[in-house]
A = this chain, B = another copy of it.
């Protein structure tokens, strides 16, 4: 049993909000979206558009790359499971990241 709380994007941003004792209404208005949409994002029933992620990082003063990473890893894990696949895919993806990075590096010098 090691901490499994608030690992997902929605849970996490809900925590950021509730720790500050802010209602959906207030944060939503800062984000310039509907409170119900923000609620859905917190419950992972809607996806956060990129711009919302940026704004959340700035409103709550958390690292943007970290927040993006939390969101993208959510998305990846959902995708893998919903395709009926498993973790091996991630290793394959890792290799491909290496390949793409080296290809890009090569292109820069050619």
Stretch at the interface among A20-28, A31-39, A82-90: A82-90
Secondary structure at the A interface, as helix, strand, loop or mixed, is: helix
* Residues A7 and B96 in contact, CB atoms below 8 Å apart: yes
When all copies of this chain in the complex are counted, the total is 2
Known contacts A76-B79, A76-B90; decide if A68 and B96 are in contact (CB<8 Å). Answer: no
* Residues A70 and B97 in contact, CB atoms below 8 Å apart: no
Size bracket, chain A contacts: 20 to 34
Known contacts A76-B89, A77-B93; decide if A99 and B69 are in contact (CB<8 Å). Answer: no
Report A's interface with B, CB cutoff 8 A: 4, 7-8, 65, 68-70, 72-81, 83-90, 92-97, 99-101
